[in-house]
Structure 1
Amino acid sequence: MTQTSSAEAAAWTVLDAASRRASLDPSGAELMRLGENALFRLPGGIVARVSRPGQLAAAKREVAVARWLEANHVPAVQTRPDIDQPIEVDGRAVTWWQELPPHRPGTALTVATALRHLHDLPPPTAFDIGRLDPFVRLSERIDRASTLTEADRTWMRTHLAELKTRYEELPKGLPETVVHGDAWTGNVVTTDDGEAVLLDLERCSIGPPEWDLTSTAVKAFTLAGITANDYNTFVGTYEHDVTPWPGFEALRDIREFRMTCMAAQVAGENPQWHDEVLLRLACLRGEHGPRPWTWTAVP
């Protein structure tokens, strides 16, 4: 059994135990995605999300955020109200969600629309939404990067320390707001009736809105994943361009490093992604020419 199939088997075991504790029948469930979290579709329009170990607090906050957004009429993925959650099994958190209606992938326009709604909300008062941590789990991901040499991991740890210093020294920007924390086109979808819906709420917190805006700028200018016209649409819809801000390069570099650390963690579980990690590291070190770079999406 490969490491990847072992991870899948473990997720199925957790799903089975959590489903029975929630008085749900897991028979007929199907795996939708196995990445940072495992997503399963159960009969009856239920989606179960199985976290990695140690994410119970984040799961509790995500459930609270989803219910707060629903109460404030911000389109976002909704929890199942009839289940007491999250449920913890073997240190992993399982949360339960309403399956989305028919939808299509997000665009720069839908991300800008969703972020405008989110950033305009006053922070919640009924629970502590926490502060943004752009470096959450990065040290752990570096440690899990078992396909890399110790020299590469040492460079990553040094680079991480430098990025933390740069973040602490960010210049003044827009007033802090509730931020999504991982706002890119993969975390916003458009329903068939044209509604932009936010997904993956586990990093919602208080922080600089520029953090959310930087993700789309990275998509445009680091990865050439959207066109300049798409980016201009994003800026026009949100009504702010983050790229001229003096702190933009720091946030861009942090976002790029997060993407690299995620790939390194995935490669540690599935070595077929090792070359992609080496490519990303070479780019960050200035060994692969100027942006945009061609990175392959890692599941």
Structure 2
Amino acid sequence: MTTSPHRTALPHAPEVTGLIAEAAARLSGLDPDGMILVRHQTSGVYRLNTAPVIIKVAPPGEHHLADVVALVAWLQKHGVPTVELWGDPADQPLHIDDRVVTLWRYLPQERAVRAPDIAESLLALHDAPVPPSGLRRLDAFGPIRRSIASSPLLTDDDRDLLKRLCDRLAQDEAILTAGVATGLIHGDAQHRNTLLDPATGRAVLSDWDSAVLGPREWDLTTIEVHCRRFAHPPAEYDQFCHRYGRDVRDWAGYPWLREVRELRMITSNARKSPPGSPAAAEVRRRIDDLRDGRESTWNIL
């Protein structure tokens, strides 16, 4: 384990993860001069200015990334379109203080990803065999309950509302998923976790932290929720269904799983969003809409 020039007790914030990303670059023989913060939600994501490399700094406690590295190397061998690790996978992940760091090939994007772009890559993933080891099974409700318990944003009324909805949905899980086949799924398949490879024009999947064994309906419903909630043109989702070969809305369990996915999106952002931030205000609006039974367009977080 390498120690970076700061105390490990500091929070998961850019002033901390930036130092860790710089240390990771130097350990990998790269120059961090001019490094750019791309985003800072679950992980701190940085792009080097001196090489086509993305550096991801996971929050404390995320120690399963060795499995992610092994999975991506396995996906590449099995022809699943995925963003590539930088360098030799055997050299990753890096451990710096209490953080785990991964390095990825940077793919410059000339246009925004659209839902139809994702279909063929997601189908290739769903058609892949099950990896030999290292993958967890989908836990649909555990993360929701943990987020409700730990969120600094929620009032007691909010927690009561979200707990009751979670309990109601969990009661139906066994019935609605009976007989549904499981396999390798991305876990958070959506526009922002897909990139276009400029060399081939083909979409590749990225951000494999949520990959698990579960029903492919989980991924398909995630795409539908993102298209509908974030106001993508309806025709784009129809094109996705045509290219993938299935519309998950035809599945009897879709209305239930749609509620589960939306609840998970609300609660995970309630856990991650700093109080007083624009993201916290968006979470508050989503909860108020949920309480009042309003169907609204969401702002991306």
Q: What pairs with 1:86-97 in structure 2 (closer than 5 Å)? A: 86-97=93-104
1:67 Cα shift? 0.8
1:49 Cα shift? 0.3
Whether the 8 Å CA contact 1:220–1:228 is kept in 2: the answer is yes
Q: Distance in 2 between matches of 1:39 and 1:105?
A: 18
Whether the 8 Å CA contact 2:107–2:195 is kept in 1: the answer is no
Pair 1:106–1:254, CA change in 2 (3 A)? same
Pair 1:21–1:107, CA change in 2 (3 A)? same
Report the equivalent of 2:8. none
| Alignment pair present for 1:212 and 2:219 | yes
| Alignment pair present for 1:104 and 2:107 | no
Matched position secondary structure for 2:249: coil
Whether the 8 Å CA contact 1:103–1:191 is kept in 2: the answer is no
Q: Distance in 2 between matches of 1:237 and 1:288?
A: 33
Q: Distance in 1 between matches of 2:233 and 2:150?
A: 34
Q: 2:83 aligns with which of 74, 77, 80?
A: 77
Return the letter of the residue paired with 2:120. T
1:154 Cα shift? 3.2
Q: C-alpha offsets along residues 50-101 of structure 1, whole Å, 9 cap, x if unaligned?
A: 01111111x1222112111111122211112336111223322100111115
Pair 1:230–1:184, CA change in 2 (3 A)? same
Report the equivalent of 2:63. 56
Q: Distance in 2 between matches of 1:136 and 1:199?
A: 24
| Alignment pair present for 1:295 and 2:259 | no
Q: Distance in 1 between matches of 2:108 and 2:227?
A: 28
| Alignment pair present for 1:129 and 2:132 | no
Whether the 8 Å CA contact 1:112–1:238 is kept in 2: the answer is yes
| 108-117 or 152-161: bigger deviation | 152-161
Whether the 8 Å CA contact 1:144–1:268 is kept in 2: the answer is no
1:20 Cα shift? 4.0
Pair 1:16–1:191, CA change in 2 (3 A)? closer
Matched position secondary structure for 2:248: coil
Pair 1:278–1:102, CA change in 2 (3 A)? closer
Return the letter of the residue paired with 1:229. A
Q: Distance in 1 between matches of 2:234 and 2:12?
A: 42
| Alignment pair present for 1:241 and 2:247 | yes
Q: Distance in 1 between matches of 2:136 and 2:53?
A: 28
What TM-score does the superposition give when structure 1 sets the normalisation length?
Answer: 0.86
1:140 Cα shift? 3.8
Matched position secondary structure for 2:151: coil
Q: Distance in 2 between matches of 1:269 and 1:45?
A: 34
Return the letter of the residue paired with 1:218. V
Report the equivalent of 1:188. 194
Q: Distance in 1 between matches of 2:161 and 2:293?
A: 17
Q: Distance in 1 between matches of 2:12 and 2:193?
A: 26
1:174 Cα shift? 4.8
Q: 2:268 aligns with which of 247, 262, 268?
A: 262
Pair 1:213–1:226, CA change in 2 (3 A)? same
Q: How many residues align?
A: 288
1:113 Cα shift? 1.5
Q: Distance in 2 between matches of 1:217 and 1:253?
A: 12
What percent of counterpart residues are identical? 32
Q: 1:278 aligns with which of 278, 281, 284?
A: 284
Q: 2:206 aligns with which of 199, 203, 207?
A: 199
Q: What pairs with 1:135-146 in structure 2 (closer than 5 Å)? A: 135=141, 137-146=143-152
Matched position secondary structure for 1:44: coil
Report the equivalent of 1:164. 170
Q: C-alpha offsets along residues 143-200 of structure 1, whole Å, 9 cap, x if unaligned?
A: 4432321221233233333333333332446532211110111111223332011111
Return the letter of the residue paired with 2:297. T
Q: Distance in 1 between matches of 2:151 and 2:27?
A: 34
Report the equivalent of 1:118. 125
Pair 1:6–1:104, CA change in 2 (3 A)? same
Q: C-alpha offsets along residues 125-147 of structure 1, whole Å, 9 cap, x if unaligned?
A: 2x322222234543443344323
1:8 Cα shift? 0.9
Please list every run of 5 or more consecutive structure 1 residues that lacks an aligned counterpart in the other structure. none
